[in-house]
């Protein structure tokens, strides 16, 4: 069962590849989505990373919540289900 994680406080320099590389240390990453501003296309500073199993998601939270990445302390936790987020997010898969 795939589990989606919220990753916050990302540097604006963070790329899709950076996220995949980092989180692959905890397990199989099935998707990584950077949130972008709809008008400017600039990164918003957060992303959603989907891990292939609950155990991998738990490992990623333990490894990377509070982790210093590009001089930013990450916030990592299980994401709320999309229906509960209350807005349509403009995202880009890379």
Mean pLDDT per 10-residue section of the chain, whose length is 94 residues: 97 94 98 94 95 98 98 96 57 49
Residue 85 within any structural domain of the chain: no
Sign of CA dihedral 43, 94, 22, 87: positive
Residue 94 within any structural domain of the chain: no
pTM for this prediction: 0.85
Q: Which residue has the tokens 């229906």?
A: 83
Residue 86 within any structural domain of the chain: no
Residue 75 within any structural domain of the chain: yes
Residue 88 within any structural domain of the chain: no
Give the range of the structural domain holding residue 12, as residue numbers without chain letter. 3-79
**Number of separate domains in the chain:** 1
Residue 89 within any structural domain of the chain: no
pLDDT of residue 77: 97
Question: Distance between CA 58 and CA 55 in Å, rounded?
Answer: 5
Looking at residue 57, which CATH number applies to its domain?
A: 3.30.70.330
Residue 22 within any structural domain of the chain: yes
């Amino acid at each position: 069962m795939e589990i989606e994680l919220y990753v916050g406080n990302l540097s604006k320099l963070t790329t899709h590849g950076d996220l995949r590389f980092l989180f692959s240390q905890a397990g199989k990453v099935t998707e990584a989505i950077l949130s972008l501003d709809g008008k400017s296309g600039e990164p918003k500073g957060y992303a959603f990373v989907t891990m292939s199993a609950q155990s991998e998601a738990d490992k990623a939270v333990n490894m990377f919540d509070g982790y210093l990445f590009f001089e930013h302390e990450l916030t990592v936790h299980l994401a709320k289900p999309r229906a509960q987020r209350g807005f349509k997010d403009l995202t880009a898969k890379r």
